[in-house]
Amino acid sequence: MGAVEIKPGIHWVGAIDWGVRDFHGYITPHGTSYNNYLILDKHVTLVDTVKHDFCEYTIDSIRDLVDPAKIENVVINHIENDHASSVDRIMELAPHATIYITERGKKALDRFFNTSSWKFVIVKTGHTLHTGAKTITFLETPMIHWPDSMMSYVKEDRLLISQDAFGQHLATSARFDDEYCDQYSVAALEHAVRDYYANILMPFGTIIRAKIVEIQKLGLEIDMIAPDHGIIWRRNPAKILQMYLDMANDKADLRVVIIYDTMWHSTEHMTIPIMQGIRAAGVDVEVLKLRSTPMSVAIKRVWESRAMLVGTPTLNNIMFPTVAEFLTHLRGLRPKNRIAGAFGSYGWGGGAVKEAYESFKKMGLETTEPGLEVFYRPSVEDEKRCFEFGKHFAEKTIEFHKKFDGVQLGKCQDSTKP
């Protein structure tokens, strides 16, 4: 869509991926964008490149502003393929440019490209790059999102270029939060932020919390945050910092999400009285069938809720495969401060519910035991047991949720703004 000036002399030269629906397994119904930024100063500087398939779009946008051969510095904030897989093409056009990158970024980049003829400066937190009238300060942010990751702060413009952090998978003609919210809604943007965080950054809450505190201690004045995906935060950058702080502190709604799959509808049948029991205890409840729900949607809803009940029939003495896959995926995302329980039907020897609890324990989740098993088909008596099971689980959820009431989650003051 061509370059967009986001600050005087600083231009978005990224690409919008309207068509991507599967981002390495994460379902992206709204596409995404790969953002990067060109600083037109005495020493022309490109911050991040772009996914290889979109390289020529970025180069066209750069060419509209300056001859790419004039790029003197290339900052690589993050080496994942969606941002760095066109570094070779950029270096072909600007062979004398110097790459600014973390040590771990350089080691990884060496595995993807023949870097032997490229010039590098390895940077650490606090190192600076003077582009002329502007000063970029680097801030290492390992594991947000990869070990190599860092952010770039442009002091004169109070601009934080934050790579994956604070992003969203949104393909939109809007470049800024105010434009997007005017076109759609604040709720739609918040939804996209939580979806992205739950599916990508959930494991790194502790690191994110510490990094936000570090940013605050450094006293960086921020009036714009420009991530590598989605819209740029200019109306209210404090909002996204506060959202991240809340999510990193495991804020969740008082709700039970029932995640289940079923063979011959017995486990499915159990969800109804269980749901009624949860409601009878006054707790919000949502029911998601795994085979009808994209994994990333189920992950997000679990992340937003304080409690999860997993329903799985036993198949050959183990969990139903879709449930096992979901729990494996969730385990990698390391959810914290959530309570879990399991139920399901069996016909032969059982085993799925026990296996679900083993999975919860590996994740370090709080659990309520025992789970609930039904032999072949829920009887009227079993339905009553399901109702009581749901009610008891909801009561335990209320108790568990209270631990987080009044917990000081930390505040991002508007002082992040000048």
If one asks whether residue 82 binds ligand FEO (CB under 6 A), the answer comes out as yes
Examine residue 158 and tell whether it contacts ligand FEO (CB under 6 A): no
Instruction: Give the separation between CA 373 and CA 405, rounded to whole angstroms.
Output: 33
Using the minimum distance from each CB to ligand FEO, give the nearer residue, 25 or 406. Answer: 25
Q: Of the candidates 56, 60, 72, 80, which one interacts with ligand FEO according to CB under 6 A?
A: 80
**Shortest gap between Cβ of 230 and ligand FEO (angstroms)?**
10
- Other CB atoms within a 10 A radius of the CB of residue 282 amount to 11
Answer yes or no: are the C-beta atoms of 310 and 323 closer than 8 Å. yes
* DSSP tally for the chain: helices H, then strands E: 13, 24
Q: Do the beta carbons of residue 19 and residue 66 sit within 8 Å?
A: no
d(CA 383, CA 68): 69
> Can residue 103 be called a binding residue for ligand FEO (CB under 6 A)?
no
| Nearer to ligand FEO among residue 199 and residue 416 (C-beta) | 199
Q: Which residues contact 298 (CB under 8 A, 6 or more apart)?
A: 257, 259, 288, 290, 326
* Binding residue for ligand FEO, selected from 30, 106, 145, 306, defined by CB under 6 A: 145
Among 41, 164, 177, 195, binds ligand FEO (CB under 6 A): 164
Identify which of residues 146 and 400 has a Cβ nearer to ligand FEO in the complex. 146
Stretch in the footprint of ligand FEO (CB under 6 A) among 79-87, 97-105, 169-177, 254-262: 79-87
Residue with tokens 């995926």: 329
Is 78 or 300 the residue whose CB approaches ligand FEO more closely?
78
What is the closest distance, in whole angstroms, from the C-beta atom of residue 81 to ligand FEO in the complex?
A: 8
Residue 228 makes contact with ligand FEO by CB under 6 A: yes
* Smallest separation, CB 12 to ligand FEO (Å): 15
Among 83, 106, 194, 300, binds ligand FEO (CB under 6 A): 83
CB of 6 to ligand FEO, least distance (A): 18
Rg of the chain over all Cα atoms, to the nearest angstrom: 24
Residue 229: CB minimum distance to ligand FEO, A: 6
The piece of 76-84, 280-288, 354-362, 399-407 that touches ligand FEO (CB under 6 A) is 76-84
Least separation in angstroms between CB 334 and ligand FEO: 17
Is residue 17 within the footprint of ligand FEO (CB under 6 A)?
Answer: no
Contact call for residue 146 and ligand FEO (CB under 6 A) = yes
CA distance 46 to 97: 10
Tell me: does residue 195 bind ligand FEO (CB under 6 A): no
- Binding ligand FEO (rule: CB under 6 A), the pick from 7, 11, 30, 78 is 78
Instruction: Report helix, strand or coil for 38.
Output: strand
Residue sitting closest to ligand FEO (CB)? 80
Smallest separation, CB 108 to ligand FEO (Å):
12
Angle CA(24)–CA(29)–CA(32) in degrees, nearest 5? 65
Considering the complex, what minimum distance in angstroms separates the CB of residue 139 from ligand FEO? 16
Nearest 5°: the CA angle 399, 400, 402 is: 70
Q: Which span (74-82, 181-189, 205-213, 272-280) binds ligand FEO, by CB under 6 A?
A: 74-82
Handedness of CA 359, 361, 365, 366 (dihedral sign): positive
Nearer to ligand FEO among residue 36 and residue 131 (C-beta): 36
Residue 261: which of 313, 327, 309 has the closest Cα? 313
Which residue, 200 or 307, is less far from ligand FEO as judged by CB? 200
Residue of 215, 203, 206, 217 whose CA lies nearest to 240? 215
Nearer to ligand FEO, 9 or 14 (CB): 14
Residues 387, 267, 354, 317, CA torsion sign: positive
Residues recognised as catalytic: 24, 78, 80, 82, 145, 164, 196, 229
Buried b or exposed e, range 318-346, using 16+ CB within 10 angstroms:
ebbebbbebbebbeebebebbbbbbbbbb
Instruction: Estimate the crossing angle of helix 266-280 against helix 380-402, to 10 degrees.
Output: 50
CA nearest neighbour of 333 among 367, 293, 362 = 362
Q: Using CB under 6 A, which of the segments 77-85, 107-115, 306-314, 410-418 binds ligand FEO?
A: 77-85
Footprint on this chain of ligand FEO (rule: CB under 6 A) = 78, 80, 82-83, 145-146, 164, 228-229
